[in-house]
Amino acid sequence: MTKNIRNIAIVAHVDHGKTTLVDQLLKQSGVFHQHQQVRERVMDSGDIEQERGITILSKNTAVHYKGTKINIIDTPGHADFGGEVERVLKMVSGVVLLVDAYEGPMPQTKFVLKQAFDLKLPVLVCMNKIDRPEARPSEVEAEILDLFIELGADDHALDFPFIYASAKNGYASMDPQDREGTMEPLFEAILKYIPGPEDKDDEPLALLISTIDYNDYVGRIGIGCISQGTIHANDQALIVNHQHPEKKEKVKITGIFEFEGLERVPAEVGTSGNIVAIAGIEDISIGDTITDLENPQAIAFNKISEPTISMTFRVNDSPFAGQEGKFVTSRQLRSRLFKELQTDVSLRMEDGDTTDSFKVSGRGELHLSVLIENMRREGYEFSVSKPKVLFKEVDGARFEPIELVTIDVGQEFVGSVIEKLGRRKGEMLSMSEPSGGYARLTFEIPARGLIGYRQEFMTDTKGSGILNSVFKDYEKYKGDIPTRKTGSIISYDTGVSSAYGLNNAQERGNLFIGPGKNVYEGMVVGESPKGIDLEVSVTKTKKQTNVRASGSDDALKLSPPVLMSLEQAIEFIEDDEMIEVTPTDFRIRKMILDTGSRYKASKRK
């Protein structure tokens, strides 16, 4: 007997339309009232998710269609949040693979599809954005089939339908030429091709925790699919862990919640095959199994890919320390990072070289920059170092992480991209014929080679290029890679920047600040094209005299400052620099602020 439940994850490369598709499934299944105003991408609940248009955390929702409950998990598409995708796939019995009808399969498409095949999950392919004028459904179909075969799909896995959809316009069809209707064909395909869970209510309880949430009222909440058995509020249960056989803890379940639309609703009982949230277990972790007291059994949990990049988080020690932040001590910083570890399986933290520093490792620059931005908005003040890749020692040899990079770029920029990546030890694997003026280049490159390149790439391609990367494997160290060619313009005094001081400094390069900004000795205020660090005074004011000359009192013409985002600043800094992060600002600075001490340190080096 199977139940009237379908547990599915919607997976795709970044920006192929997963969250927009979930919006339509929610609307057309009646979750929202007919005239209810709902913002776009309603599943992206975080501020950063809304601002950047990316999904960072996987989200659970549920809809009803023809008497069947469909539990849907909206997953991130960016490679830096791949850990989110890896673990939620343990909760579902099938995936809907979304592919852009123009871009076709991309690196993250391959990554998530491989994860689904490893777990032997049936895959339903939905080709989105079919309404794009440049859509090429027949070519993309062939590319998807090639990808299935490359990943070793068996005959059963290849027996899937193509569904053509426009999530933005709210229709799906089995025919690429059919451009109207509703999402009904997709709903029907989910019921037909994704199996329902077996009825195992009478067997001993086994519930694997795949996601952790936090609520100020009930504390930690564990989310997972009940593989077998039933669970009631106030039940006694046992927590075990497949990777930690010594863990055995008796607990009491204080609350059970099911997903209905965007809500978590209390339930008296959770039955097999359903995705539920469990409250009342203080130290519950991802990978734990809630199981029967009499017949304990731990469910195996797939190993999450290891981090490839690390940054040092450190207590802020600049002259402005403590002026803008609410949480500034090492104890507060440590506590906040530990809290993040509870819900982010891809993150690692260990003590740094000093008592007030911590080494934080993640999947990529975006992964860590989102954490930094969240902490900044919560009132934390701290400083962070340049990202460094994590090396491995294998049989005495040094191995480093390699990224698989796909670049879509205008034909006129191809030469520049190949040259720049070649210098960074990139090896070109393929180059497709240009279509629509764009060519697709595929490279293997050390993760080190991408640090600091993305900003240069956007400049080189005049903002039109698209660069995507996904972790491939560890390989032998590829040799030294040239670093940033430009130098830093550094303030050698403390005070308030003046138009007169900035006017003199801007002759040396591009400035990052305008007049009226607080600066301190050792703060980086600009970029020098000469490739060497320069000290300047940006606080200098013009001496007052009684003499007035023709034209000398004209307004100074200052170029607009280069305003960097946090990611751009992380890419810009060198090994001897840091970013001071506060709730109101972030400043680039030298690790050694005193000019004389910095000069002596560089001489010793």
- CA–CA–CA angle 54, 278, 1 (5° rounding): 95
Nearest-CA neighbor of 582 among 313, 316, 312, 357? 316
Please report, for residues 71, 72, 138, 462, the alpha-carbon distance to residue 94 in angstroms, rounded to integers and kept in the order given: 11, 10, 24, 41
User: Is residue 518 a known part of a binding site?
Assistant: no
Residues 6+ apart with CB under 8 A from 583: 324, 325, 326, 376, 377, 379, 380, 381
Strand partners, 309: 362, 389
Number of H helices and number of E strands within the chain? 15, 35
19 is in an annotated binding site: yes
Residue 582 assigned ligand-binding role:
no
Q: Is 242 annotated as a binding residue?
A: no
15 is annotated as contributing to ligand binding: yes
Q: Residue 461 and residue 276: Cα distance in Å, rounded?
A: 47
Q: Which tokens go with 133?
A: 């004028």
Q: Is 130 annotated as a binding residue?
A: yes
Q: Which residue has the tokens 């994590």?
A: 390
Q: Which residues pair with 223 in a beta bridge?
A: 211, 277
- Pair 531, 486: CB distance under 8 Å: yes
- Hey, what long-range contacts does 175-182 have (CB within 8 A, 24 or more apart)? 176/127, 176/130, 176/137, 176/138, 179/130, 179/131, 182/28
Q: Is the backbone of residue 523 left (phi > 0), alpha (psi -120 to 50) or beta?
A: beta
Residue whose C-alpha is closest to residue 121's, from 85, 76, 150: 85
Tell me the one-letter amino acid at 99. V
What secondary structure, in 3-state letters, does 271-332 show? CCCCEEEEECCCCCCCCEEEECCCCCCCCCCCCCCCCCEEEEEEECCCCCCCCCCCECCHHH
Cβ distance 331 to 355 under 8 Å?
Answer: no
Q: Rounded distance, CA 417 to CA 457, Å? A: 7
**131 labeled binding residue:** yes
Helix axes 18-28, 184-193, angle to 10 degrees: 100
Contact 169, 133 (CB under 8 A): no
- Distance from C-alpha of 47 to C-alpha of 53, rounded to nearest angstrom: 10
Contacting residues for 507 by C-beta, under 8 A, at least 6 apart? none
Alpha helices, H only, 301-452:
330-343, 365-377, 414-423, 447-450
Q: Are 571 and 369 in contact (CB under 8 A)?
A: no
CA–CA separation, 240 and 488 (whole Å): 53
- Contact 442/404 with Cβ under 8 angstroms? yes
Question: Which residues partner with 255 through β-bridges?
Answer: 279
Query: Which residues participate in the annotated binding site?
Result: 15-20, 128-131
Query: Which residues participate in the annotated binding site for GTP?
Result: 15-20, 128-131
